[in-house]
Amino acid sequence: MSQLLLNTKKIYNWKYSLLFLPLLVTFLFYLFTSLFSASGFGSINYPLHMLVMINIYIILGFSINLVTGYTGLLSLGHGAFYGISAYIMVLGLMVLKVPFFLALILAIVFNMAISLLVSLPSIRLKHDYFILAVIAFQMVIFTILYNWTSVTRGPYGIPGIPRPDIFGLWHVDETWEYVVLSYILLIIVFVYFAKVDSSSFGRVIKGIRDDELVVSSMGRNVNLMKAYVFAVSAGIAAFAGALFATSATYIDPTSFGLDESIFIIMIIFIGGSGNLKGVFWGALFVELLPEILRFLQMPDAVAANLRQIIFGLIIIILMRFKPTGFAGDYDYD
């Protein structure tokens, strides 16, 4: 039996099972809410849409995990990268009229370029000063998106974003198709991270998180590594931005403010950072909690505020009793 297990392990890497987790949890959630709901089973589009959002937040979770969880740079600016890529995506699809994947590549490259503009001057800053620099960047981007009305339409937002068309072969329209698309992008990101997790690059960035001085004394250019990490992280956030813009078909700057950046970082604070599984648990938690509150039939206004309060409380409790998050490797204590 043990030999059979070993052989199976050689063929199939069990960490890939994590990809089934959102699907399974969403299905169970739908099942339970339907069983206990007076109206019985509702539309399947509701859990499918939830699954798309969960996948978007898992991708964002991986993006922030690379910077904060693996490298130890606390970034409160990922909402900005998420937003920039969503707007670039819209620019690509609606103005340049390029296909979905070309617009996505454009968003990735643009995000990476912007990230270098931010990281190169700020990467030498230590601890709190780095955090402040990134928050400042987040504020600047939000202000630009909000006030550059000739391009972004400011607070009115951009409606009617076209659905993705994949090489003229597949027009993504239905919610289940978005689930498939989100899974394709998630698998790309996940496979990359599975490689990072057990690579020399992964060990070096974890080393930077633990002790920068030792890393540079072992022959590594720490500043260059940080710039790399920031750029790749911004590039990954573009996957999420592209998915969000095309699935919501409407974007406005309020979706990409500082509170969104805090929300993104909560994924790894709650789920745990520095590994693959923490991101999944964190994204499931932050996405499902409001749905659970909705299930409790609280008024929307109260639920939104309550969500913030509950998140705040959870962070305090976690930092006190489980600083690694639910399934993390890294202790922020």
Residues that bind another protein (CB under 8 A): 192, 195-196, 198-204, 206-207, 209-211, 213-214, 216-222, 225, 228-229, 231-232, 274, 329-331
What is the spatial distance between Cα 75 and Cα 109, in angstroms, rounded to a whole number? 20
What is the spatial distance between Cα 319 and Cα 230, in angstroms, rounded to a whole number? 25
Q: In whole angstroms, how close is the CB of 12 to another protein at the nearest point?
A: 19
Burial class (CB in 10 A: 0-12, 13-18, 19+), 54: buried
What is the spatial distance between Cα 273 and Cα 275, in angstroms, rounded to a whole number? 6
* Contact residues for 105 (Cβ-Cβ < 8 A; gap 6+): none
Nearer to another protein, 146 or 326 (CB): 326
Nearer to another protein, 112 or 118 (CB): 112
Q: In whole angstroms, how close is the CB of 323 to another protein at the nearest point?
A: 12
Q: In whole angstroms, how close is the CB of 119 to another protein at the nearest point?
A: 13
Q: In whole angstroms, how close is the CB of 227 to another protein at the nearest point?
A: 10
Of 319, 257, 312, the residue nearest 289 (C-alpha): 312
Neighbour count for residue 321 (Cβ, 10 Å): 7
Q: In whole angstroms, how close is the CB of 127 to another protein at the nearest point?
A: 18
Nearer to another protein, 153 or 220 (CB): 220
Of 247, 85, 70, 83, the residue nearest 164 (C-alpha): 247
Nearer to another protein, 263 or 269 (CB): 269
Nearer to another protein, 107 or 225 (CB): 225
Q: In whole angstroms, how close is the CB of 235 to another protein at the nearest point?
A: 9
Q: In whole angstroms, how close is the CB of 108 to another protein at the nearest point?
A: 13
Nearer to another protein, 59 or 161 (CB): 59
Q: In whole angstroms, how close is the CB of 209 to another protein at the nearest point?
A: 8
Q: In whole angstroms, how close is the CB of 294 to another protein at the nearest point?
A: 37
Nearer to another protein, 85 or 324 (CB): 324
Nearer to another protein, 71 or 255 (CB): 71
Nearer to another protein, 255 or 275 (CB): 275
